[in-house]
Amino acid sequence: MAFEKEMQILVEAEKNRKPVGPLSDMVSGGLSLDDAYRINERIIENRVKAGEKVAGFKIGFTNLAVREKMGLPDSTYGYLLDSMVLKNGVKVSMSELIAPKLECEICMKLKSGLKGKGLTAEDVIKATEGVSASFEICDARIKDWKCPYPDFFADNGFSARIVFQGNWHAAAGFDFLNEKVVLTQGGKELAQGTGALAMGHPAKAVAWLAGKLADRNKGLEPGQIVMTGTLTPILPVEKGAAYAAKFSTLGEVTVTFV
């Protein structure tokens, strides 16, 4: 079966908490973008067959400064499974992860499906049931987070966990661009940012995602959630540290790593 070996390498890396080198180095001629999509989609399909459910998607590297720093040609995305979704105030065991990093994001929950290319931010907002403050805890099965662009997709966009604030605010009339977040660790400010840092507008990021999914003959479904990208730098986390992201309208989300 095509790419069975590469799939198993990623599955075992996550299971054993031991990162591996880029898959592109293991494939003759490197890993194509289509190959990477297929590897990830097969892994997700197997997890769904085993009982997990697709909760939605995460979009990565929507912050242009972060993307340029990583030397990537475009943003990325990955699947979110129900097992990855955590509640506000959760304690996350570092033993479950490899090299986690934290992002502050605006999450959007859809009330209707979004499919096809060329969607606008307005299309996305009309299809959105609500928005919420959230953390994304990213993690890489690839050693040192260093790999060619296709490998990000093979490794599910470095998805790991997400933490919700717990309340959903109406999307209509919400000031996406100027929503501000301040990230603190133990009360000390680490970073801050605004919604405009997510691809110019979080809803534009969702429209981008819909277009990319359309290329795979897929789409966003009603009830799914979408993490729209970080508003702050991607920061490594410390064991024993408590983090809080205070949003100007959406409230506060917290997580502690133990």
Query: Tens digit of pLDDT for each residue in 176-202?
Result: 999 999 999 999 999 999 999 999 999
- Average pLDDT for 25-30: 88
- E strand or H helix at 131, and its extent? strand 128-138
List Cα–Cα distances, 92 to 84, 137, 164, 248, 257, in angstroms.
11, 10, 13, 25, 5
- Average pLDDT for 13-35: 92
Angle at 117 (CA atoms; ends 150, 77), nearest 5 degrees: 30
Cα–Cα distance between 42 and 137 in angstroms, integer? 23
Contacts 24+ apart (CB under 8 A), 65-70: 65/197, 66/230, 66/233, 66/234
Place of tokens 């293991």: 26
- Average pLDDT for 231-237: 94
pLDDT interval class at 66 (50, 70, 90): confident
Please state whether beta strands 90-92 and 188-194 pair in parallel, antiparallel, or not at all (unpaired): unpaired
Produce one character per residue of 226-243: b if its CB has 16 or more CB atoms within 10 Å, e if not. Answer: bbbbbbbbbbebeeeebb
Number of domains in the chain: 1
Is 256:237 a contact under the CB 8 Å cutoff?
A: no
Q: What is the CATH number of the domain that holds 103?
A: 3.90.850.10
Is 40:77 a contact under the CB 8 Å cutoff?
A: no
What is the predicted pLDDT for the residue at 166?
84
Q: For 192-232, what is each residue's pLDDT tens digit?
A: 999 999 999 999 999 999 999 999 999 999 999 999 999 99
What is the predicted pLDDT for the residue at 69?
79
List Cα–Cα distances, 190 to 27, 38, 46, 97, 175, in angstroms.
39, 37, 38, 22, 23
Q: For 105-135, what is each residue's pLDDT tens digit?
A: 999 999 999 999 999 999 999 999 999 999 9
Q: Is 235 helix (H, G, I), strand (E, B) or coil?
A: strand
If you average pLDDT over every residue of the chain, what do you get? 95
Q: Is 91 helix (H, G, I), strand (E, B) or coil?
A: strand
- E strand or H helix at 126, and its extent? helix 121-126
Residue 1 has pLDDT above 70, yes or no: no
Is 79:44 a contact under the CB 8 Å cutoff?
A: yes
Cα–Cα distance between 118 and 211 in angstroms, integer? 7
Parent domain of 146: 4-257
What is the predicted pLDDT for the residue at 241?
97
pLDDT interval class at 29 (50, 70, 90): confident
What is the predicted pLDDT for the residue at 70?
77
- Average pLDDT for 151-178: 95
Provide the residue type at 121 as one letter.
A
Residue 28 has pLDDT above 90, yes or no: no
